[in-house]
Structure 1
Amino acid sequence: MDDKKKMRSQNWFGKTGKDGFIYRAWMKNQGYPADEFEGKPVIGICNTWSELTPCNGHFRELAEHVKRGVWEAGGFPLEFPVMSLGETLMKPTTMLYRNLASMDAEESIRGNPLDGIVLLGGCDKTTPSILMGACSVDLPTIFISGGPMLNGKHKGRDIGTTDVWKFSDANRRGELSQKEFVEAEANMCRSDGHCAVMGTASTMACMVEALGVTLPHNAAIPASDSRRKVLAHISGRRIVDMVKEDLTLSKILTREAFENAIMVNAAIGGSTNFVVHLLAIAGRIGVKLDLEDFDKFSEKIPLLANLLPSGKFMMEDFYYAGGLPALIKELKAHLHTNALTANGKSIGENTDDITCYDTNVIGSLENPFKDDSGIAVVRGNLCPDGAILKPSAATPALMQHKGRAFVFEDIEDYKAKVDLPDLDLDENSVLVLKNAGPKGYPGMPEVGNIGLPKMMLDKGITDMVRISDGRMSGTAFGTVILHVSPESAVGGTFGLVETGDIIELDVANRKLTLHVSDEVLAERKKSWKAPDLGYNRGYAKMYIEHVEQAHQGVDLDFLKGKSGSEVNRDSH
C-alpha cells in the first residue's frame, strides 16, 4: 500500500515528534530496523498459547510459521498474548470466562498499532472468544485453528474423547479397573492438538472454516501434521494481502455465511455448544440471528460426517478423507456458494476441485449416515424461550417420551444422590438438573449430560431423557435437552419443576411440556427464591449482572455490536 495514511499502524509509527519517538524507540529495543516502521502492514498474531491449555500448547511454534509468511509477504508480524481458556483444567467453567477473553482480545487489538490480525485458537472457548473480540474491532482478520490430536490408540483400537464417558461408566460399574482407567489416559492424548472427535473444539474449527474466516482445510489437519505448519505459513502471507485489500471481517461474516455455518454444522454432527457461540459472534458483527435459524437451516441437512460422537471415525480420518472442503462440496445444493472467504474466493470456488477419498467417512446427500442431524429447537411451558437437542447423538426411541421427573436441584445435589441405591426413579424417568444456566452456576457448565444413576447402569440402561439449563461437552452423547431458557436461577418455569411431575418430550413436533397446571405453577412461584450465588466482587459479579440467556448467546449485554478500530484518546 503506497499511501501510508491509509495504514492504521501509521497513527503510531508514522508520527513525528515526541509521540513517534516513543512509539518507535521502545519497539527498537527488540532489534527491529527502522524501515520496519515505514509503512509496512503490521500484523498482530493473537496467541492463546498456555501450558494450562494443553490443546493450545504447540501455538508458540505455530506462531513462528505465521511470522515466516508475514515477513515473506512484506508485513511486520508482532505476536501478543491474550487470556487462554483451558477447557480441561479451568474452574468453575471456561464458559464463565469466554466473554472476558473476548474483551481481552478486543481491547488488545484496538489499543495497539495493528493493521491486520491472525487469530490462533483451538481449545473450545479460545476460538469463539477471540473471534468475538476481533469482530467488535472489524479489521482484516484470518483464523488458524490448532488442529486435532492424532487418533488415540488403546488395546488395538482407536479411541477419542468420547470414550471418556464410556470408560467412566464402565469404571463405575466395576467392569474397568482403576489401573486400566489410568492406562487409557496417555493412550488417548498422544500428540499435540485438541479433541480428536467432533467435539466442541473440532466443531469450532469447522465453524470458522464454514464462516469463511480461514483458508480451506483449516478444520481437520492434525496438529502434529506438517501441513498444519504450512497452513500457518500461507495464512501469514495471506493476511498481508487482506490488509491491502481491506478485506475486513464484516465483509466475510454476512448473513449468508452464518446460514452456511449452520448447515455445515448439521452435516458434521457438530456440538450443541455451536449455538451459543455462533449467536454471540453474530451479535458482535451485527448480523441478526436467532434460535429458530438453527432449526430452520439444519432441518433438511442429513448427517454426512461419520464422526464420533454421532458416528464412528475421528478428525484425523476426516482429513484423510478430504476434510471439510469435501463435505462442503457435497452440500453445495444447499449452501450460499458465493459467500466470500478469507482467501478472496467464494466458498464454492474453494471446493470446485475437491475430491472425497473415503465415502465411509464422508457421505453424500443421496447416501447419508443419518437423516436426523443439526440442532432441534424445542419449546413449551418448560422452556418458553427454547431449548435444544442434538438428534444425531440421541436415542431414537426416546425422541418421543413421557415420564416422571426426578429432580436434582444443582450439580452438588446430583453428586450426592447419583450413586444411591434406592432413588425413586426407573428407566422411564426424566432426569432434571437445575441451576446450571448462565447465571445459576454461573457460567453454564458442561454438566447437562449428567451420568445415569448407578442403579440404572446396573440394570444395563444406557440412556435416559435428561433436561438441563446447562450445556454439555461436544464429545458427549445421549438424549439430552440443553440450554433451557429462561434458566431456573432467574425464576423460569424450569426452576419450579418437582420430582414426580410429568414431562413430555416430542422432538418431531418440537415440544417440551411440563404437565402441571398454571395455577399450581403460580403457587410454587410464590415460594420460589433466587439462589444466593455467592459472588460479590470482580468479573464473576459483573458477569452475573450482565450475562444474557442461552437463546441470546450468553454474551454480556453491553458487548453487543461493533465498536470499531478507533482509539478514543492518544496517550502521549
Structure 2
Amino acid sequence: MAKIINPFSIKLTKNNTLPAAQAMLYATGLTEDDFNKAQVGIVSNWYEGNPCNMHLNLISNKIKSSVKKYGMVGFKFNTIGISDGMSMGTSGMRYSLPSRELIADSIESVVKAQHYDGLIGIPGCDKNIPGIVMAMLRINRPSILVYGGSISSGYYNGKKLNIVSAFEALGEKNIGKISELEYKNIIKHACPGPGACGGMYTANTMASCIEAMGMTIPYSSSSLANSNFKKKECVNIGFYIKKILKKNIKPLDIITNTSIKNAITLAIALGGSTNLVIHILAIAKTANIDLKLDDIQNINNNVPIIANLKPSGDFLMEDIQSLGGIPIIIKYLLKEGYIEGDCMTVTGKTIKKNLENIPDISFNQKIIYPLLNPIKKNGHIRILYGNLAPEGAVAKITGKEGDLFSGFAQVFNSENSANEAIINNKIKKGDVIVIRYVGPKGGPGMPEMLKPTSYIMGANLGKKIALITDGRFSGGSHGFVVGHITPEAQNGGLIALIENGDIIIIDAINNTITLKITKKEIKIRKKKFIAPLLKVNSGYLYKYSNTVSSASNGCVTDKL
C-alpha cells in the first residue's frame, strides 16, 4: 500500500523552489486544500468530426466529476484522433496507424511533464486504444482505460445496418443489386449516433482485449456509447483510480505475458480483427514482453471461434451488451480453462475475483456458441510463411472462404488502381489481387483497405478471388484476404517482384503463402529491382517512414 497517493504532483505542489508552477496551479482554480490531493490526468481522443469520438468530452466531464467526488484533482486534456472510416480509401488513411505513435507520444509528454499521479484514458476509434495503452505502459503510473463505447446499429428497410453496410452498398449498387435510392438511404441510416463501429471490428476487438488484459473495469468494452452502463462506469471510475493509487497498482503490474495471452484468446474466440496482431505486438514490445507472431499462431490453433459477430457473422456489440456483456464471455472461457484468472486488474482484484458474481452464460441464443459446438474449431487468424512472406503475413480465415486458394496474380501498385479494376469488372474468378507498396514504409503508414474488400463482397466475388497486400485490412474486412506481408515491397520483399499471371497459392491449412516461380527466376527479377522513392519527403509521414519497424514487429517507432 502506497504511503501517499500523490508522489508526482507533490513535486510541484510542495516544492518551495517552484513558486511559478504553484501560481499557475492556483490560476486553474485549485485551492490550498487541493495542493494536498492526487492529480489525475484525464485524456480523451475527443473531436467533433467522427462519431467514434464526438461524445468523449461528455464522458471526460463525467469522469472529472467522479475524480473530484473521491477527493482528487482531475485535469482534462486531449490528444488526437483519426477517423478510419472517413479516411478509408483516401490518402488520409496513411495517417491512421502513425497516429497511434502520436497519441502515445503526446500522452507520455503531458503526464510526465505535468507530474500527474495517475491517468484515465478515454479512447474512441481504432488506434486510440493501443495508443493510450502504450502511453500508460511508458509512464507506468496507476492508470485506467474507459472505452468510449460502441455505436448502436442503424436501421433501414427492415434491416440492421453498420458502417460496413455503407461500404458494401457501393458494390451492390455497381452490380445492380440495389437502386441509387436504396444506396443513399443505407448511407444515411448506417450510423445513427455516437460510438465506435458496431461489429467485432478493430475498435471493439481492442477494447475487448484491454478488458481481458485487466486495464478496464468489467463491462467497459461492451457498454454502448449512449447506454446507462457507460454513464454508471464514468460515475464510479473515481473510486477505482483512487483504489489503485492507494495500492500503487501500475500498468506493468497488470499487463504481463499471461494477461496478453488472455487478451489474444478472447479476441480469437470473438473472431476479432487482424489489426489485433500489430497492436498487441506493439503493446507487448512497449511492456518489454517477448511476444512473437508464432505465439499468436499457437494460441490461435487452440482457441475455437464461438462468437457469431460481424463482419463474418450476424451480430453486433449491442447484442453482446444485451446478452450480459463481455464479462460473461470471459467467465465462460475462464471456467473452461482458456483464460488465466490470477492476473491483476484496475479494480485492485484479479480477473477471477472480478467475475465471481457474474452470471453464467446461457446458450439459449445464437450470438455465442458453446466451445463443444463452436463456429470454427480453431481460430481465424492465420500467420502465414513462405517465399512471399519469410517474416510472416496475417490472414483472416473464418472457414466460410475455404482453406486453400490458388490463382493468377493481378498486380496493382496502389489501392486506387485495384479499386478501379474491381469497380470496372476487370477482376475475374480465380484472380489473386496483389496490392503492394502500401506497407508501413511504402504506404507510408500501412493504410487499411476496407474499400477493395467491401467492393469484392458487394460484387459477390468473396469466394471466387483472393487479395494479398503488404498493407493491412480493416476489422470490417472479410473474404479470402492476406495482409501484413513482410518484408514489404518498399524494402524489396518478394511481393515487389510479382508479375501479372504469376501463380500464387494461399494454404490456410499449412499456413503458407507461395509465389510459384523458380529460384532462378526470383534471382533474375531481384537483379532488376530498384526500390521506388518514398512517396513523401517531408512532414510527419516522412519521419514515420524512416523510423517505423516492420508489421511483424508491431510497426513501432521507439524500439526498432
TM range (shorter): over 0.9
The unaligned stretches of length 5 or more in structure 2 are none
- 8 Å CA contact retained: 2:430, 2:464: no
Query: Aligned partner of 2:30: which letter?
Result: Y
Instruction: Judge conservation of contact 1:372–1:391 (CA < 8 Å) in 2.
Output: no
Alignment partner for residue 30 of structure 1, among 13, 20, 28?
A: 28
Query: What amino acid is aligned across from residue 436 of structure 1 in structure 2?
Result: V
Residue equivalent to 2:186: 184
Q: Helix, strand or coil for the counterpart of 1:88?
A: helix
For 2:400, the aligned partner's letter is: T
How many residue pairs are counted as aligned between the two chains?
Answer: 551
| Inter-CA distance 4–211: structure 2 relative to 1 (3 Å threshold) | closer
Deviation for aligned residue 1:272: 0.5
Residue number in structure 1 paired with 2:306: 304
Shift of 1:462: 5.2
1:565 alignment counterpart: none
Q: Give the deviation of 1:41 after TM superposition.
A: 1.3
Contact 2:173 / 2:180 at 8 angstroms: preserved in 1? yes
Residue matched to 1:516: 517
Deviation (angstroms), 1:370: 2.6
How far is the alpha carbon of 1:99 from its aligned partner? Answer: 1.2
Corresponding residue for 2:331?
A: 329
Q: How does 1:115-194 map to 2 (within 5 A)?
A: 115-194=117-196
CA deviation after TM superposition for structure 1 residue 251, in Å: 0.2
How far apart, CA to CA, are the structure 2 residues paired with 1:251 and 1:31?
Answer: 34
Amino acid at match of 1:70: V
- TM-superposed deviation, 1:453: 7.9
Query: Which residue of structure 2 aligns with residue 217 of structure 1?
Result: 219
Determine if contact 1:70/1:77 at 8 Å carries over to the other structure: yes
Q: For the residues of structure 2 that align with 1:458 and 1:63, how far apart are their CA atoms?
A: 42
Q: Which residue is 1:384 aligned to?
A: 390
**Aligned-partner SS, 1:111:** helix
Q: Which moved more, 1:435-444 or 1:346-355?
A: 346-355
Partner of 1:320: 322
CA RMSD, Structure 1 to Structure 2 (Å): 2.1
In the TM superposition, residue 368 of structure 1 has moved relative to its aligned partner by: 2.0
1:366 to 360, 368, 372: 372
SS of the residue 2:342 aligns to: coil
Per the TM alignment, residue 189 of structure 1 is displaced from its structure 2 partner at its CA by 0.9
The corresponding residue for 1:568 is: none
AA in 1 matched with 2:381: I
Q: Verify: 1:432 aligned to 2:434, yes or no.
A: yes
The alpha-carbon deviation at position 28 of structure 1 amounts to 1.8
| Secondary structure of the corresponding residue to residue 55 of structure 1 | coil
What residue is the counterpart of 2:487 in the other structure?
Answer: 486
1:525 aligned partner: 526
Question: Contact between 2:453 and 2:478, CA under 8 Å: does it hold in 1?
Answer: no
Query: Does residue 1:85 correspond to 2:82, yes or no?
Result: yes
Counterparts of 2:5 and 2:374, CA distance in 1? 53
Q: Contact 2:45–2:53 (CA<8 Å) still a contact in 1?
A: yes
Alignment-mate amino acid for residue 68 of structure 1:
S
Query: What's the offset of the Cα at 1:376?
Result: 1.0
For residue 219 of structure 1, give the secondary structure of its aligned residue in structure 2.
coil
TM-score by length of 1: 0.92
Q: Distance in 2 between matches of 1:429 and 1:396?
A: 14
Cα distance in structure 2, aligned partners of 1:386 and 1:529: 23
Residue 570 of structure 1 corresponds to: none
CA distance in 1, matches of 2:500, 2:410: 5
TM-aligned CA deviation for residue 177 of structure 1: 2.5
Shift of 1:4: 5.3
**Cα offset for 1:51?**
0.9
Which letter does structure 1 place at the counterpart of 2:532?
P
Q: Quick check: 1:418–1:452 contact (8 Å CA) kept in 2?
A: no
1:348-394 deviation per Cα after TM superposition (whole angstroms, max 9, x unaligned)? 222233222553212221232332424111100000001111122x5
Q: Give SS of 1:56's match.
A: coil
SS in 1 for 2:385: strand
Does the Cα contact within 8 Å between 2:294 and 2:383 map onto a contact in 1? Answer: yes
- Does the 8 Å CA contact 1:43/1:240 hold for their aligned counterparts? no
SS at match of 1:136: helix
Q: Which moved more, 1:439-448 or 1:376-385?
A: 439-448
The letter for the 2-side match of 1:368 is: P
Write out per-residue CA displacement over residues 141-198 of structure 1, whole angstroms, 9 at most, x where no aligned residue. Answer: 1000011111211111212223234312111112223332221223221121111111
Query: Contact (CA 8 Å) 1:448, 1:480: kept in 2 or not?
Result: no
Query: C-alpha distance in 2, partners of 1:381/1:364?
Result: 38
SS at match of 2:391: strand
**Cα displacement (A) at 1:530:** 1.2
Shift of 1:103: 0.9
Q: Which runs of 5+ in 1 are unaligned?
A: 561-572
Amino acid of the structure 2 residue aligned with 1:390: K
Once the two structures are TM-superposed, the CA of residue 482 in structure 1 deviates from its matched residue by 0.9
Residue 432 of structure 1 aligns to a residue whose secondary structure is strand
Report the secondary structure of 2:517's partner residue: coil
CA distance in 2 between partners of 1:225 and 1:352 (Å): 24
Partner of 1:541: 542
Q: 2:405 matched to which residue of 1?
A: 401
| Separation in 2, partners of 1:531, 1:53 | 34
The answer to which of 201-210 and 366-375 deviates more is 366-375
TM-score (norm 2): 0.94
| Alignment partners' CA distance in 2, 1:273 and 1:61 | 28
Residue of structure 2 equivalent to 1:16:
16
Cα distance in 2 for partners of 1:172, 1:441 equals 28
Mapped contact 2:130–2:206 kept (Cα < 8 A): yes
Which stretch shows the higher mean deviation, 271-280 or 46-55?
A: 46-55
Trace 1:288-303 onto structure 2 (pairs within 5 A).
Answer: 288-303=290-305
Gap change, CA 1:248 and 1:461, over 3 Å in 2? closer
* Residue pairs, 1:497-516, within 5 angstroms: 497-516=498-517
* 1:227-276 CA-partner distances (Å, limit 9, x unpaired): 10111221222111211111000000010011111111100111000110
Provide the C-alpha distance between the structure 1 equivalents of 2:408 and 2:199, rounded to a whole number of angstroms: 34
Query: Which residue type is aligned with residue 505 of structure 1?
Result: I
Distance 1:460 1:273, change over 3 A: closer
Q: Sequence identity of aligned pairs in percent? A: 30
Output aligned runs, 1:222-371, within 5 Å. 222-332=224-334, 333-355=337-359, 356-357=361-362, 359-371=365-377
Where does residue 567 of structure 1 map in the other structure? none
Contact 1:44–1:117 at 8 Å: present in 2 too? yes
2:66 aligned residue (66, 69, 83): 69
One-letter code of the match for 2:159? R
Per-residue deviation, residues 300-346 of structure 1 (Å, max 9, x unmatched): 11112211112111110111102111111121111111111110111
Distance 1:159 1:132 in 2: 33
Structure 2 CA distance, aligned partners of 1:5 and 1:62? 24
CA contact (8 A) 2:308 2:366 kept: yes
- AA of the residue aligned to 1:23: A
One-letter identity of the residue aligned with 1:270: G
